[in-house]
Structure 1
């Protein structure tokens, strides 16, 4: 295709797109990242974000992607705070050791918790710091970042290889009606001194209960509302989130609210990670539909996508 200026254009500036772009650039490809939104306005920026496979399929593939990502996060956490990644102990409610071992084998030390769950140390990522760190790592590897939109079919992307990391936007851009939103709402409060995280038992309804400490901030959650498109915070939902979290740790009740966040998880029956040859000869590699586990599988998926790109 004539007039192509770049080896690879990655479309999408969330954690999947940025990580994929980093992997490609560090493998020697000339990479441009196109993003509709600045990193701080992406769905990824809203995430908690704990390494744990949540609302993502297929399980067999997710297992490998998640383990590869776990290895990267352990290395990043050991390297200091710059990446936003830390290994932090917490409690998974109503979860048995076998479930953790099913995802991580013997990689993670697990012990019983008196509340009926398990204690385990997992990667906890400050997403706003991590997304900025990924962007700088991409630029250091020779990549570029440009804020711009694309049309269905990606006609503006005139590279030989285009990687579709557009998340929920793939619904219109591919188009793929199989990808749909699962709304998540969070409340950010001043951290009253908590250093561990907790995910309470899940009854299967839209209301979830969890908290994640990030320095002087504490992220409280949350919701999982299928097929809800609104990104406006609901005050009643926010009150319920604080109330549920305070029932677990009473000191949360008096914490000053700093921010409300809403994100739409791009859920699909199965992650789409596969190449497609377009009629004009371009190679389009799809990497979307990661649900609530984009962080959990980002590096594994990025490396597989890079393989499809020939990098």
Structure 2
């Protein structure tokens, strides 16, 4: 990036804030614009590193591995909200471990005695867990420390971000209208946050395309329980029945959760399309737009890799 290059980043979820940090630390003059700061969907994430039903695989692997490297570094700083945590991903049917899991520290197949009742296969590994409210606050601090600014503003189109010769579109589901992109669709996710009954390890069920997820992620004094993945649903109102079902599914695997007190409900709409979009778009008036959206349920997992590719696309165009 040319020092002082003015860039508007649209969106303040994990994609927008991470991209803003990467660009600001590369010397750009960055302004992040968003109606919600930080974005509601990113705040609602669990969050565990791991590619989640997202394509294209070759790029996803590269973006995810780069993000994994950064999260491992951030885990050395408690204030980031990132921790390396051991746990189990299991299945009720015989399933091979995904290739990304087999590269993680401590990876091994579970013994039958390690698995909850009803599960027939599983594997253990150590992976970054990210406490999203803490982590997003960290990104905001890091952005401002690098000279970036944040503006709460509702945009009707990407052109509303002008005057700016460089725009980065990290608007998530908002890109349906701002681009517009009819390929983008919501997948509703709901989590329940409870007090932690002394859990230290995560658990996740490989549920494939099911709308009913089962996972719990301990973050110090709290545990995030999940979840749902309702394709085509973007309503962010709490669903009491879904919450009760989440609690029941998780407590069946970990009975200590029956005594946990509910603290809050977190709901988001994963911005999903057939493939993640990270590419440049030169408008007729000379405005350069780089799109970085459509990460589905892997926004955290791909955040640093996609942000750095966005930086590289801008730099190549300006060279």
TM bucket (normalised to shorter chain) is over 0.9
Q: Which runs of 4+ in 1 moved over 4 A?
A: 95-98
**Equivalent residues of 1:55, 1:267 under 8 A apart:** no
Whole-angstrom CA distance in 1 between matches of 2:146 and 2:161: 24
Partner secondary structure for residue 236 of structure 1:
helix
Report the counterpart of residue 269 of structure 2 in structure 1.
Answer: 264
**Equivalent residues of 2:278, 2:292 under 8 A apart:** yes
**Residue 113 (str. 1) matches residue 110 (str. 2):** yes
> Which of 145, 162, 168 is residue 157 of structure 1 equivalent to?
162
Q: 1:110 to 1:59 in 2, by over 3 A?
A: same
Partner secondary structure for residue 297 of structure 2:
coil
* Shift, 1:106, TM fit: 3.8
* Shift, 1:263, TM fit: 0.6
**Residue 83 (str. 1) matches residue 80 (str. 2):** yes
* Shift, 1:233, TM fit: 1.0
**Equivalent residues of 1:97, 1:110 under 8 A apart:** no
The TM-score normalised by the length of structure 2 is 0.91
**Residue 24 (str. 1) matches residue 10 (str. 2):** no
Deviation per residue, 1:140-197 (Å, 9 max, x gap): 1111111112122423321111000000000000000111000011111111110100
**Residue 47 (str. 1) matches residue 45 (str. 2):** yes
**Equivalent residues of 1:212, 1:220 under 8 A apart:** yes
Report the counterpart of residue 194 of structure 1 in structure 2.
Answer: 199
How much is the aligned-residue C-alpha RMSD, in angstroms? 1.8
Whole-angstrom CA distance in 2 between matches of 1:145 and 1:229: 26
> Which of 244, 267, 279 is residue 274 of structure 1 equivalent to?
279
How many residue pairs match? The answer is 304
Q: How does 1:217-228 map to 2 (within 5 A)?
A: 217-228=222-233
Greater displacement, 270-279 / 194-203:
194-203
**Equivalent residues of 1:181, 1:267 under 8 A apart:** yes
Whole-angstrom CA distance in 1 between matches of 2:209 and 2:95: 20
Partner secondary structure for residue 93 of structure 1:
strand
* Shift, 1:204, TM fit: 3.2
> Which of 261, 286, 289 is residue 291 of structure 2 equivalent to?
286
Q: How does 1:1-311 map to 2 (within 5 A)?
A: 7-39=6-38, 41-78=39-76, 80-94=77-91, 99-100=97-98, 102-103=99-100, 106-114=103-111, 115=115, 116-202=121-207, 204-310=209-315
* Shift, 1:230, TM fit: 1.2
Q: 1:123 to 1:96 in 2, by over 3 A?
A: farther
* Shift, 1:241, TM fit: 0.4
Partner secondary structure for residue 119 of structure 1:
strand
Greater displacement, 112-121 / 275-284:
112-121
Partner secondary structure for residue 156 of structure 2:
coil
**Equivalent residues of 2:5, 2:27 under 8 A apart:** no
Whole-angstrom CA distance in 1 between matches of 2:285 and 2:160: 10
**Equivalent residues of 2:7, 2:29 under 8 A apart:** yes
Deviation per residue, 1:257-280 (Å, 9 max, x gap): 111111100011000100001121
Q: 1:74 to 1:156 in 2, by over 3 A?
A: closer
